[in-house]
Structure 1
């Protein structure tokens, strides 16, 4: 599977929903919880753009965006393709 990284914060329902979907897909992901390391917030902004909301999700080299975008990829049948290391068309 492709490397998955997700930036989260405590108490974020969208973060929980995104992690739940990835877990249902049996996708292994690396979580960057900004409560555990505040420098990850700036790292997220550097990668996703200042003012980005939580969560921010990266699959391989692709910036997916947030929870809504992740679920949209799933509805369109593109998420499984991305999780298996292929480009979604």
Structure 2
């Protein structure tokens, strides 16, 4: 009888612990979206630029393309972006 009671208590505790951890951990939420990125994208092909402020990550710049609506990460040290630092600061 004691063994069944201990097993039942262990199962109840396991279920409670599982329910408490249903939210996503912060390590997944704050993960960097872009790793590196492309440096070979002409500004005329970009429809929209998005700058994601993620802590502990380098600047995350995502471009939406005009032709197919796809999204591409752009490396922050791309030549034409370096020349437009004022434009990037206005996006942030």
TM-score, with normalisation over the residues of structure 1? 0.22
Higher relative contact order (CA 8 A, sep 6+): 1
TM-score, with normalisation over the residues of structure 2? 0.22
